[in-house]
Structure 1
Amino acid sequence: MDLTNDRHSQHISSQFNQELEALKTHLMGMGGLVERQIQEAVAALLNNDSRAAEEVRDNDRQVNEMQLRIDDECTQILARRQPAASDLRLVLAVTRAASDLERIGDEANKIARNALTLIELGETTRGYTEVRRIAGQVREMVRQSLTAFARFDTELALGVLEDDETVDEEYRSAMRSLVTFMMEDPHAISPVLHVLWILRSLERVGDHANNLAESVIYLVKGLDIRHAPEHPRASLGRKRGDREAESDADDS
C-alpha cells in the first residue's frame, strides 16, 4: 500500500500522530543543519576563511547529538507503539535517513579539516572550480531528497537518483584532470591532494543523498531498491507523468 500524507491522520491516538510528526520534524531539522554544514565548509575553503572552517568542524558534535535523539525516539516508538505496515516503514526509514545525514555531517567535517590545511598552506591551487560546481550539485541533491521525504514524493526521489549519476561523472572527470595536473607539476601534489580529498567527500555526500532518496521510495512504496539490478524507474513502473497523461487521454 502506498503511503500518503493523510495516512498519519487516521490514527486513533492523537499522541501517536504527534510522535510521528515530531520524528519527521527532527529529521528535517537535522537535514537542514548538515546541508548548512556542507555549504559553510565549502564557502570557508573558497573564501579562505579559517574561522568558518573551524566552526563547521566544531558543529559536528551537534549533528551527532541530533542523530542520537532521533534514534532514541525511534526506539521508544517501536517499544511503546509496536507500529505496523506503513508506520513501521516510516520509523525504519527515519532511522536510515538519520544515519545518512550523520555521515553527510562527517563529510562536511572532513571538508572543513582539509580546507583548514589548504588555508594554512597559503597556496593557490587547481580544482576550486570543480569543488564549487560539484558542491552545488550535491547540496541540491540533499535538499531535494529531504523535500521528497517531507512530501512522500517518489518522483522527486527518482530525480535525485538520476542526479547522482551526473555527479559521479563530474567527479571522475575532475579526478582525471587533477591527477594529470599533478603529474605535470609535482610541486602541486601536496595542495591538490587535499582538493582531491574534498572532492571525494563531496562525491560521498551525493551517495548519501542518493541513499536518502532510496529511503523515500522504501517509505512510500515499500520497495527496497538499494541493490536492484534494473533502473529504479523500472522497479516503480511508469513515470507519474506517463500515468497522468494516459488518464487524461481516457477521460477525453
Structure 2
Amino acid sequence: MPDLPDEDEEDESSSEEQEEESVQGTPTAALCEQVVPLLRYLDRKVAKYDDPRHPGSYVELEEKLEEAKKELVKQREKLAEDLDSEQAQNRILSEEFVRQTRLLEQCQSARQADEELIRHLQSQCGELRAQRAEAKLQLAEIEGNCRRATDRTWKELVERVNHCLRGYTHWGVAAQERITLRGLEIRAAELMSDDSRSRRRVAKRLDAFISRSQDVIANLEAEVTEVLRRLGLRSRGHDWSGRELMRGSPSRRRHSR
C-alpha cells in the first residue's frame, strides 16, 4: 500500500511530460503551461483527500469534526450543568449573605440599644451614688443631732432627777426632824405627866406614828431606787439610799434610847 502513491506520481509525471511535448509550439502553449499544472495538482489533491484510506483525508476530517462537535456538545452540557450548579450555589450564598446582613444589622441595633442602656444605667448609677453620698451626709447630721439631743435630754433628765432627789432628801430630813421633835415632845409630856396609863397610850401612838412614817419613807426609797435603776442611775440610787439611811439612823437611835 505505501508504494501506490509513488507509482501514481510516476505515471502522472510521465503523462504530464507527454502532454507538454504535444502542446509545445501552439498558441495556447503559454496558457497550458500555467493552467494544466494547477489542474493536475488539484486533481491529485482531490483524489488524495477523497480516499478514506489515506491519512488526513476528507472523510477522516469529517469524522474528527463530528467527534469534535460531539465533544463540544458534551463540554457545553457539562458547562451548563456546572453553570446551573454555580448559579444555585450563588443563590444559596446570596440568601445566606442577605440573612447574615440582616442579622448583622439586628446585632448592630441591639448593640446600640445596649450601649445606650449602659450609658443610661451609668448615669443613673452616678445619680444614685450622689444621692447616697448626700443621704450619708444627712444621716451623719441627723445622727449628730440625735446624739446631741440625747445627750442634752440625758443631762436634763439627770439634773431633774438630782433636783428631785435633793428635794426628796430635804423632805425626808425635815420629816425625820419633825418625827424626832414630836417624839421629844411626847417624851417630855410623859415626864411631866404622872399617869402611867396615859404615858403608855401616848407611847403606843408615838410608836405607831413612827412605824408608819418609816414604812412610808422605805416605800418612797424603794420607788426612787427602782426609777433610778431604770434610768441607768442605779449606783446613784444605792448611794442615795445608803446615805439617807445613814442620815435617818441617828434619830432612830436617839428614839430607841
- Higher helix fraction: Structure 1 or Structure 2? 2
1 or 2 for the larger relative contact order (CA 8 Å, sep ≥6)?
A: 1
The structure with more radius of gyration: 2
Same fold (TM over 0.5): no
Q: TM-score, normalised by structure 1?
A: 0.30
